[in-house]
Amino acid sequence: MCGIVGVIGKKNATEILIQGLEKLEYRGYDSAGIYVTSNQQQNYLIKSQGRIADLQSKIGKDVEGSIGIGHTRWATHGEPSERNAHPHTSGNDRFVLVHNGVIENFEEIKQEYLQNKQLLGETDTEIVVYLIEYFAEQGLETKEAFKKALSIIEGSYAFALIDSENPEVIYVAKNKSPLLIGLGKDFNVICSDAMAMLQETNRFLEIVDGEMVIVKADEIKIEDEKGNAVYRESYEAQLDLNDIEKGTYPYYMLKEINDQPTVMRRIVKEYTKQNGSVVIEPEIVEKIKASDRVYIIACGTSYNAGWVGKALIEKMAQIPVEVHLSSEFGYNMPLLSKNPFFIFLSQSGETADSRQVLVQTNRLGYPSLTLTNVAGSTLSREADYTLLLLAGPEIAVASTKAYTAQIAVLAIVAKAIGDASGNEQSEKFDIAHELSVIASIMETIIDEKATIDQLVTEYLSDTRNAFYIGRGVDYYVSMEASLKLKEISYIQAEGFAAGELKHGTIALIEKGTPVFGVITDKKTAAHTRGNLKEVESRGAHNFVISLASLSKESDQLVLPDVHSLLTPLVSVVPTQLIAYFATLQRGYDVDKPRNLAKSVTVE
C-alpha cells in the first residue's frame, strides 16, 4: 500500500505534503516521512514511526522549502520503525527516494551490485536508492542512473526521486502501483490518489506503467521505456472535498454506515428509470448475456459482496457465477469456461491482487467489468466497462457503504441481464421500489444504535472469539460480519456455513462463546435454528438476528421484512454496528485499525 506525495514550485511545500499525507493515511500508517528542500544549501529529512500526527509533531517551524516528497507507509519488508520509514537516502545522502510497491529481486540486487554498501534498514526500497547511487558513481547522469536501475528492478513500484545536488526536478516512474501528477500554475504535484492534492488542483495527468516522468515546477516531460516523448491530455477529477469530511460524526465509519440509505437512493436515481426499468449500458448487458459463465474476482469485503452477487445473478440472469479470491485466481487459475465474463469488485479500483488478474484476462482477450467507487482508478481504466458504486469517498479502513453499494449495483446488473433475457422473476422484480424500501429500513436499524450498543456490552465485552453462522445469503453476510469484527475490534471472529460448524470448528464453542445466527432465508431458517441449538447445548451465548416473518420471540434483533433477494442489504447493517461498538468499547481506533490499509496496492 503506502501513499506518496510530492510538490515542486510552491513555497509552502511542507504544509502541502503534510495535508496530502493526511488524506493518504488510509493507505497505511505504520510510519511516515518527508524530505523538503529549496536549494542545495538547506534541506530537511524528517521521519517518524506511527501516524502523520506523530510526524507532524516532529516538524519544526524552520522546515520550509519549495520542493519536497512525502510518504506514509504500510510495512511489507521490515518492521514499522523510524529507520524503515521513507524517504530513503543513498549512502552519500545525494539521492532521496519514496516508494510504493514491492521489489521482488531486492536480494539479488544486493548480491550483485551492493556488496560493499552499508545498508541501514531492512526495506527493499533502500536497495533501489543505493542502486541509483551506484550507477551515478559509475558516471551516469541522474536520469540515466534512475533508468538503469528501473531496467533491473522487478516488482511493483511508484517512485519519486530527488537528486539533492539538483533539486529542480522530481523524477517519477511507476509499474503496477498508482501515481498521478497534479497540474498547477507554476507548480506541479504528485500523489498516489487525486484526493491528496484536491486542495491544490483538480487537473491531473495519468502515468502509464513503464513511463518515466521528469517533473519540474513549470514543465512535465513523459518518456516511454525507449526514451520517446509521450503526450497525454490531462483530466479533471470528479471529487468533492466536502465528501471527505466526517462532519459531526466521531468516526468516518459511523458516518459511512449512516450514509448507506443515501447511497441506496443515489443508486436508484442513477441506475433506474421512472418506469422501474434499470439503466445499464446495453453493451455490458449484451456481453454478460453472451457469456456462459461469470467470474467475480475480488478481495476482502468485496469478495464477500461477490457471493451475494453470485446469488443475484444466478437467480435473475440464469448464468452460472464463480467467486474467486484475486490473490488465488491469478496464480492458480481454474479451468475457465469457453466464454467467460469477468467482474472485478474493488472499492478503490486500485487493489493490486485484482489488477494482476485483470492484466491476465486482458491478455487472454476476455471481456471485463469493474465495479468501483473511484472513477478513473486503475481497474476502471483497464477493464472494458465500469459501473460506479456512487457511495462517495469511503475513508474508514473497514468498508461498510461500499459493501452495500456493491450488492445494490450487482442487483441492478443482475436485473438488467434478467430483463434482457425475458426472465419472469427478474421482470417482476421492482428493484427501484425495493431499494427505496431498504433505504428506509436501513435508517430504522441505524436508529436502534443504542440497543445494539447495549447488546454488544452484554455479548462481546470480554470474549476472545465469536462466530457468525447462517446458510445461503446469510452465510455470505456472516463472512462479512465476522471480517468486520476482526478488522477493527481484533476479536477473532469466524463466519461459518451454519451446517458446517459441527464438522470440526464446534470444538471451539465454550460456555459463553458468542454465536450470532443470521436468519433471513425461509428455506433454511429451521436448519440454522437447529445448528444454533447444537451450539447452545455446548454453552454458546446465542444472538439471533432474524427477519420479522421468520423471527421467534427470544430473538435478540428482529429486522423488518424485505425482498428475499436483497436481505443482505439490511441484515449486514446491525453487524456493522456490532463491530463498531465492540471496537469503541475496547478502546481501539475505529477508523484506523492496526496493521491495515484501506487500499491494498501490493500483492
* Contacting a second copy within 504-543 (CB under 8 A): 504-509, 523-524, 526-527, 530, 533-534, 536-539
For residue 602, give the DSSP letter: -
Between 147 and 415, whose beta carbon lies closer to a second copy? 415
Q: Give the integer Cα–Cα distance in Å for 446 and 259.
A: 10
Q: For residue 50, state whether it binds a second copy (rule: CB under 8 A).
A: no
582 sits near a second copy (criterion: CB under 8 A): no
**Does 598 participate in catalysis according to the annotation?**
yes
Question: Looking at beta carbons only, is 450 or 507 nearer to a second copy?
Answer: 507
- Contact, 443 vs 261, CB < 8 A? yes
- DSSP letters spanning 285-323: HHHHHH-SEEEEEE-HHHHHHHHHHHHHHHHHH---EEE
Q: Which is nearer to a second copy, 351 or 368 (CB)?
A: 351
- Give the residue with the Cβ less far from a second copy, 1 or 114: 1
Query: Is 80 near a second copy (CB under 8 A)?
Result: yes
Residue from 21, 129, 488, 577 in contact with a second copy (CB under 8 A)? 488
Among positive and negative, which fits the CA dihedral 171, 209, 111, 46?
positive
Minimum CB–partner distance for residue 393 and a second copy (Å)? 19
Q: Which of 22, 350, 487, 555 binds a second copy (CB under 8 A)?
A: 487
Q: Determine, following the binding rule CB under 8 A, whether residue 400 of this chain makes contact with a second copy.
A: no
Check residue 603 for interaction with a second copy (CB under 8 A). yes
Residues 331-360 that bind a second copy (CB under 8 A): 331-332, 334-337, 353
Q: Given the complex with a second copy, which of 6 and 33 has the nearer CB atom? A: 33
Q: What 3-state DSSP class applies to 61? A: coil
Assess 468 for contact with a second copy (CB under 8 A). Answer: no
- The CA distances from residue 272 to 276, 278, 280, 286, 417, in Å, are 6, 4, 8, 18, 14
Exactly one of 314, 427, 430, 443 binds a second copy (CB under 8 A); which one?
314
Rounded least distance, CB 523 to a second copy, Å: 6
Q: Which residues does 148 contact at the CB level (< 8 Å), separation at least 6?
A: 135, 140
Cis peptide, bond prior to residue 514, ω within 30 of zero: no
DSSP string, 490-529: --EEEEEETTTGGGTGGGG--TT-EEEEEE--HHHHHHHH
Alpha carbons 561 and 11: distance in angstroms, whole number? 59
Q: Quick one: which H or E segment has residue 440?
A: helix 431-447
Q: What distance in Å separates the CA atoms of residue 332 and residue 268, rounded to the nearest whole number?
A: 37
Among residues 177, 326, 378, 406, the one that binds a second copy under rule CB under 8 A: 326
Which 280-309 positions form the footprint of a second copy (CB under 8 A)? 299-301, 303
User: Which residue from 528, 485, 474 is spatially nearest to 308, judged by alpha carbons?
Assistant: 474
Q: Give the CA distances from residue 290 to residues 316, 409, 425, 432, 559, in Å, rounded to whole numbers and listed in that order.
A: 15, 20, 20, 26, 38
Dihedral sign, Cα of residue 324, residue 325, residue 331, residue 332: negative
Q: Residue 57 interacts with a second copy (CB under 8 A)?
A: no
Nearer to a second copy, 384 or 536 (CB): 536
**Rounded Cα gap, residues 192 and 201, in angstroms:** 14
The reply to whether 33 sits near a second copy by the rule CB under 8 A is no
Minimum Å gap between C-beta 398 and a second copy is 8
Among residues 75, 312, 437, 582, the one that binds a second copy under rule CB under 8 A = 75
Q: Interface with a second copy includes 2 (CB under 8 A)?
A: no
Least distance from a second copy to the Cβ atom of residue 336, Å: 8
Residues composing the chain: 603
Q: Which of 2, 287, 415, 486 is catalytic?
A: 2
| Separation of alpha carbons 471 and 519, rounded Å | 8
**Element (DSSP H or E) covering residue 458:** helix 449-460
Residue span 379-398 as binding mask against a second copy, x where in contact by CB under 8 A, dash where not: -------------------x
Closer of 537 and 549 to a second copy (Cβ) = 537
Q: What is the edge-to-edge ordering of all strands in the sheet holding 31-37?
A: 43-49, 31-37, 67-73, 3-8, 188-191, 180-183, 203-206, 235-236
Interaction between residue 325 and a second copy (CB under 8 A): yes
* Binding status of residue 82 toward a second copy by CB under 8 A: no
Residue 499 found at the interface with a second copy (CB under 8 A): yes
- Closer to a second copy by Cβ: residue 35 or 467: 467
User: What mask of x and - would describe binding to a second copy in positions 102 to 141, judged by CB under 8 A?
Assistant: x-x-------------------------------------
Q: Is 464 in the site for a second copy (CB under 8 A)?
A: yes
| Count, residues near a second copy per rule CB under 8 A | 76
Catalytic (active-site) positions? 2, 598
